[in-house]
Structure 1
Amino acid sequence: MIVNDPDVLAEVQAAFDSYEAALMANDLEALDALFWRSPATIRYGPGQNLYGIDAVTAFRTARVGGSPQRSLSNTVITAFGRDFATANTEFQRVGAARPGRQSQAWARFDDGWRVVAAHISFLGEGS
């Protein structure tokens, strides 16, 4: 298996950048398109355990105003072969005291790269 093929990294980086732009614009259609349309999709967030694309979509639709604005740092994308990658980043929401972390698992499907699992948390949570 080839790890971090430059062409695959570029594809996943572009998908990741599209996700972040859609998140900051609260573009629900684009966000939904970047997630795998499956009951097997998972998104864990602060206060949510979302199982299946319907739960993810419902959460986004109900979140008034979308995600707070944020800046990213220490983003690491790793590609495993041609069809799977992880994207991990730290973020700082405007006006928030604690930084957050985001992990995504991306898989290549016939129609492009899609998030199949995501996890969002904040430093200081848990023990």
Structure 2
Amino acid sequence: MIINDPKVHAEVMAVFARYEKALTSNDVVVLDELFWQSEHTIRYGGGENLYGAAEILAFRNARPSSGLERTLSRTVITTYGSDFATASTLFERETAPGKSGRQMQTWVRMADGWRVVAAHVSVIDTP
């Protein structure tokens, strides 16, 4: 298995950037597209545990659409072969001083492109 094949790594970096842009602009259509449309998809958030694409979409539609801007750091994308990857990043928001966010995503190449199949977001006091 090839770890971080440059072509595959570039693909996941691009889709991760697309996800980040959609997240900070609250583009729910793109966010929904990038999550695998399955009851097997899971997203653990800062205050919610979401099971299945329908629960994730309902959360996205109900959340506030302002104050989503953030600064990423220490982003690590690792690809495993040509169809599986993880993306991990830290984030800070000006609206949450003293807090550090952590985000991890598992990406799988499906027939219709790269999709998040599992995600975890949490916030801790800045170490």
Q: What TM-score do the two structures reach when normalised by structure 1?
A: 0.94
Contact (CA 8 Å) 2:73, 2:90: kept in 1 or not?
A: yes
Query: Any gaps of 5 or more consecutive residues in structure 2?
Result: none
The runs of at least 4 aligned residues of structure 1 exceeding 2 Å deviation read none
Which string of whole-angstrom CA distances, capped at 9 and with x for unpartnered residues, describes residues 81-115 of structure 1?
Answer: 00000000000012212010000000001110000
Corresponding residue for residue 90 of structure 1 = 90
Contact (CA 8 Å) 1:76, 1:89: kept in 2 or not?
A: yes
Amino acid at match of 1:69: E
Q: Does 1:44 align with 2:44?
A: yes
Alignment of 1:24-43 (within 5 A): 24-43=24-43
Amino acid at match of 1:108: R
Which string of whole-angstrom CA distances, capped at 9 and with x for unpartnered residues, describes residues 10-68 of structure 1?
Answer: 00000000000000110000100000000000000011000000000000001121562
Corresponding residue for residue 110 of structure 1 = 111
66 and 103 in structure 1: CA distance in 2 versus 1, 3 angstrom threshold:
farther
Alignment of 1:1-127 (within 5 A): 1-65=1-65, 68-97=68-97, 98-124=99-125
Whole-Å separation in 1 of the counterparts to 2:113 and 2:9: 14
117 and 67 in structure 1: CA distance in 2 versus 1, 3 angstrom threshold:
farther
Contact (CA 8 Å) 1:23, 1:66: kept in 2 or not?
A: no
RMSD of the alignment, in Å?
Answer: 1.3
Query: Any gaps of 5 or more consecutive residues in structure 1?
Result: none
Contact (CA 8 Å) 1:44, 1:119: kept in 2 or not?
A: yes
Whole-Å separation in 2 of the counterparts to 1:95 and 1:47: 17
Q: What TM-score do the two structures reach when normalised by structure 2?
A: 0.94
